Amino acid sequence: MPGIFITGTDTGVGKTYVTQYLAEEFRRQGSDVGIMKPISCGPAKDNDALLLKKRLKINDPIHLINPIHLKHPLAPLPAARLEKKKIDLKKIFSAFKELEKKHDLVLVEGVGGVAVPINKNYCVIDLIKDLKLPTIIVARAGLGTINHTLLTVSALREQGIEIMGIILNSFRGKELSEKSNAEMIEELSGVPVIGKLMWVAN
């Protein structure tokens, strides 16, 4: 398995935090782990790829870790249109192949959810399929996550993409739904919840 694609049910669900957590865990198990953020959108100071590179002390050049960076905090398609650009998918595939040669495993962090548009008629789910990677879904722990998670599972299955598991992120212990969501998601989707992570300040 050359890598795992870390996707989310939405933006802001904690994909970067989970990617870092998984990289550290695979390292503890003895794997040489690389990371990739194919597309980032927004100011450089908020770039998740730079954050992961720093926190994980990864030596790979940023142009491989993050081959596409757009200035505006939008989905890739509208962000690229504001800059009068079209996203070059070949840059992503080329960078992934380079990272694949360097590491035992490459964790690829997506942008937003699976239906986020990259180019016209090409979304995140198409990128996952073209990279031929299995996925881990990151979802919120609280109310509303059943709907978002089941929709994401359904979309991935329709494209024949393997789902390794679901990680519920940001448990706060304040919502009644947090006590039952994992069990409900497993029962209704047939996909295991492989992790539950507590909310951490900053």
Q: Which residues are catalytic?
A: 37
Task: Report the chain's terminal Cα–Cα distance, integer Å.
Answer: 32
Any binding-site annotation on 19? Answer: no
Q: Is 110 annotated as a binding residue?
A: yes
Check whether 16 is labelled as a binding-site residue.
yes
The number of CA neighbours under 13 Å toward the Cβ of 151 is: 12
- Residue 119 known to bind ligand: no
CB 21 within 8 A of CB 27: no
Q: Is 109 annotated as a binding residue?
A: yes
- Is 17 assigned to a binding site? yes
To the question of whether residue 42 is assigned a binding role by annotation, the answer is: no
> Known binder of ligand: residue 189?
no
Q: Specify binding-site residues for ATP.
A: 12-17, 48, 109-112, 169-170
Q: Specify binding-site residues for Mg(2+).
A: 16, 48, 109
Q: Specify binding-site residues.
A: 12-17, 48, 109-112, 169-170
